[in-house]
Structure 1
């Protein structure tokens, strides 16, 4: 929850009062799973080429009420990023500018918490545009599914235990179907499914089975 000092600072920085609703109390039991596909991994240089948001109400993932958009960047994606998300230059050229997409996205999200895998990156990407258009960053609480997974699997692990937080590893262990990684909508839906399952495990006090290995593995961003 945002403290009152941060709320006052956020309100003072807000350039467009039409978005004051972002400070409203979030609806009970609701969240939004968010994912962005981008031209690269630098939030201050790279741009969004696709964004998707899927509401979660209780344990229901409302894919029929989703938000998704292809975004036309000011600089076309290069071969490296196209290999990741599959969006070609002609695909994004048919999209809309983020200046049009952002207000719709913010109204869709509202004050609800944001769920995702490496959600800080996705929010930083959106913040780049929000700072320009409304004068401030998103105030929404963030829920990181890899942190919840770490808690359920590695929270009581002994020193030296290998930690694997890769998206595919989490998805496989939780029995979530592969909907096609690096597609904004598919990633948002899978992250929502992860959150629902991990939240249920947390509520029941259950942990995931730990297989002990001695050599730790790093998880690259977006792997």
Structure 2
């Protein structure tokens, strides 16, 4: 009930009827895995520098249906974030304008569910741009892979500790990691986790 009320008021805030489709109930079989790279980890002050997204249909990761966007930030990137994504300000000078990129992202995801690793942060970063731009926050259903993994792991080791680090989950699921941790690569690896977790009842292996 609370979710329905929130969605009602969220939709009422929409300032561009072109994006009404975001609020329509989704009845298909696809989801979208996405990831953001940012100038830092402060959702209130840092900026998105890259978005990677890929569609999932059933057990298939549709790498031919992907989106990769780069943005030129207005602030310097923090050293800690550069060590992760290896992007420098000079690498982003030809990036698309942020609002234009967010519109491309909305058209790519449609009203499909969103899949991510610590998805709350990525959604919050998008919403920080989306709210002043269109008057809404992302209404899509959100699926957190670390939560899916935890539920299946803790069922086998109820008194144990569950390692939720990205690389640890990939290793435990016996999935091949990509050498480069960029937004699109992380989105594809997250999609791999999601697809495999759909077919596992519980995880005994450490």
Shared fold by TM > 0.5? yes
Residue 102 (str. 1) matches residue 102 (str. 2)? yes
Corresponding position of 2:86: 86
Q: Distance in 2 between matches of 1:144 and 1:197?
A: 14
Corresponding position of 1:152: 152
Corresponding position of 2:203: 208
- Deviation, 1:156, is 4.8
Q: Distance in 1 between matches of 2:110 and 2:146?
A: 23
Corresponding position of 2:170: 171
Q: 1:64 to 1:94 in 2, by over 3 A?
A: same
Corresponding position of 1:143: 143
Residue 18 (str. 1) matches residue 18 (str. 2)? yes
- Deviation, 1:181, is 5.1
Q: Distance in 2 between matches of 1:142 and 1:20?
A: 18
Unmatched segments (≥5 aa) in structure 1: 212-223
Corresponding position of 1:130: 130
- What aligned pairs does 1:42-81 form with structure 2 within 5 A after superposition? 42-81=42-81
Task: Give the TM-score, by structure 1 length.
Answer: 0.87
> Is the 2:73–2:89 contact (alpha carbons within 8 Å) kept by the matching residues of 1?
no
**Helix, strand or coil: the match of 1:63?**
strand
Q: Deviations over 1:98-140 (max 9, x none)?
A: 1110111001101100001101111011001001111111001
Q: Distance in 2 between matches of 1:134 and 1:52?
A: 21
Q: Distance in 2 between matches of 1:105 and 1:82?
A: 23
Q: Distance in 1 between matches of 2:202 and 2:11?
A: 40
Corresponding position of 1:120: 120
Q: 1:2 to 1:192 in 2, by over 3 A?
A: farther
RMSD (CA atoms)? 1.6
- Deviation, 1:76, is 2.8
Q: Distance in 2 between matches of 1:101 and 1:197?
A: 30
- Deviation, 1:12, is 1.1
Q: Distance in 1 between matches of 2:2 and 2:155?
A: 26
> Is the 2:156–2:204 contact (alpha carbons within 8 Å) kept by the matching residues of 1?
no
Q: Size of the alignment, in residue pairs?
A: 206
Q: Distance in 2 between matches of 1:2 and 1:178?
A: 39
- Deviation, 1:44, is 1.2
